[in-house]
Structure 1
């Protein structure tokens, strides 16, 4: 039993990164990892030469099943669905530099098999023959799925992103400008085509449709952040820097997508169900507090 647990634990960080890339939900990822461990414990491992490869196959197949089930639930979801913000801690030493909320959000366009092939090929650089064995498809089919995934994502290629420290500064500058109601300063930070998405999950009042365009986005956030009792706590997500923000008794996580030194996208997660991973504590003594005039 100890060996069984040790073998699973040695691969857990990698498997967590795989599950989160596939699902964009830490809650669903934990469920998949628990199920994978149960199956690993009960499996006949006599012929398992490489436990990590075996577990990769189990986690991928379980995640694909979850994605298929979730497609039906998503049809009745209120408003925009955004990935769940997750701190970097659970992933240990696993490289997550390729992760961003923006890419995880766009990946919702993909079918479950497309998403699986895209993640396994792009993030884990597995050969098509191995991906075919994981998904029980032919290598040619997997190549086609990957090609269609790339086309569906329609990513413009790598954007220049500011350093982590610069992103943190820009996040605070954005909130400060909105807090001051400084529309000119806000608009200067935004691209013409900037889009803001809000995920309230139907539990809180939230914009159910994207807000598009420099002027509208600036006015939208100036309206939100000029409210009293605003405090901000910087957090490091697995997808990059973000802010844990409390206004009165309402909380949300703010993440920005950059194109150079301008903001190209804004993602706001309000749904309480998606904030549990970053913890419930928001201590105003250690937060950046914007005092009321």
Structure 2
């Protein structure tokens, strides 16, 4: 239980909130792409929830999702200003996820780095409507109450957002087994600094996005193409004289690597695999975004 919950005596309000906490966190994270901001949203949601008499609320789940959505929308608008001042590329905060997230295809796809970046291209209201409708299957009337629009307006927003996402949605990836095999081959090629093996596992038009947040060195723009991506990795570690080691893990429901330089964690590399080759690499080096990779974060759509 959270520290701020422990200050309150156990009761119906606390029990309800705790039972729905993982769902509310997942809603907030899907909207924000930041675990730290999602936690702040849950804190704000809790403070509003304890002011309510649960006996007067017909649907506790719907009510709490509505509060969470409103708080997340407020936070999303504030984050947009932060992102405009962000140094280099911005990537979502990676989450070390439990095995059941990877097994839930729908949840894993919605949480993937590639999909989260597509959601970044939506307006705050479009993102809220899309996430609630397409990911959590919330009905239009409930969404309307959460975003303070009419159901008719929400239907229009949902249609527009769906069309926008479908035009940019990443292609469906390969099976979990094939994805892990490709990531393992990539890991070995990185550790052994084998250029040909790297080129063999990278798709010709692979895209690398790296996020250092102005704290650690990162490419200011996406690096495109197998040759350029391979040289980016091999050249960087060679110049610095580091020994690179990688550990296979699961981030946002997909295979990823914990990258260490001389034994110290350098970052998390989320990987997208298509047709048994790596088509996307999302390398988070910003230390402020690595707090959630030491322990698993439980997520749920229900």
TM-score (norm 1): 0.87
Residues 90 and 32 (structure 1 numbering): CA distance in 2 closer, same or farther, change over 3 Å?
A: farther
Is the aligned partner of 1:268 residue 2:283?
yes
User: Residue 31 of structure 2 aligns with which residue?
Assistant: 22
Aligned partners of 1:157 and 1:273: how far apart in 2? 28
Aligned partners of 2:196 and 2:166: how far apart in 1? 31
Aligned with residue 65 of structure 1, among 74, 86, 89 = 74
Count of matched residue pairs: 280
Larger mean Cα displacement after TM superposition, 188-197 or 72-81:
188-197
Q: Residue 191 of structure 1 contacts residue 264 of structure 1 at CA under 8 Å; is this kept in 2?
A: yes
Residues 233 and 191 (structure 1 numbering): CA distance in 2 closer, same or farther, change over 3 Å?
A: closer
Larger mean Cα displacement after TM superposition, 189-198 or 117-126:
189-198
Aligned partners of 1:93 and 1:159: how far apart in 2? 17
Aligned with residue 255 of structure 1, among 259, 270, 280 = 270
Residues 3 and 94 (structure 1 numbering): CA distance in 2 closer, same or farther, change over 3 Å?
A: farther
Q: Residue 64 of structure 1 contacts residue 112 of structure 1 at CA under 8 Å; is this kept in 2?
A: yes
Is the aligned partner of 1:140 residue 2:149?
no
Task: Map Cα deviations across residues 227-276 of structure 1 (whole Å, 9 max, x no partner).
Answer: 43222222222332211111134511011112221211110000000001
Residues 22 and 91 (structure 1 numbering): CA distance in 2 closer, same or farther, change over 3 Å?
A: farther
RMSD, aligned CA? 2.4
> Which structure: greater helix fraction?
2
Q: Residue 205 of structure 2 contacts residue 279 of structure 2 at CA under 8 Å; is this kept in 1?
A: yes
Gaps of 5+ in 2: 1-8, 296-302
SS across alignment from 2:120? helix
Q: Cα distance, 1:94 vs. partner?
A: 11
Residues 90 and 157 (structure 1 numbering): CA distance in 2 closer, same or farther, change over 3 Å?
A: closer
Residues 162 and 92 (structure 1 numbering): CA distance in 2 closer, same or farther, change over 3 Å?
A: closer
Task: Map Cα deviations across residues 151-200 of structure 1 (whole Å, 9 max, x no partner).
Answer: 33344666342333432332231132234343333222222221100010
User: Residue 287 of structure 1 aligns with which residue?
Assistant: none
User: Residue 7 of structure 1 aligns with which residue?
Assistant: 16
Q: Cα distance, 1:205 vs. partner?
A: 1.2
Q: Residue 13 of structure 1 contacts residue 91 of structure 1 at CA under 8 Å; is this kept in 2?
A: no
Structure with more contact order per residue of length (Cα contacts < 8 Å, sep ≥ 6): 2
Aligned partners of 1:77 and 1:32: how far apart in 2? 21
Larger mean Cα displacement after TM superposition, 7-16 or 232-241:
232-241
Gaps of 5+ in 1: 281-293
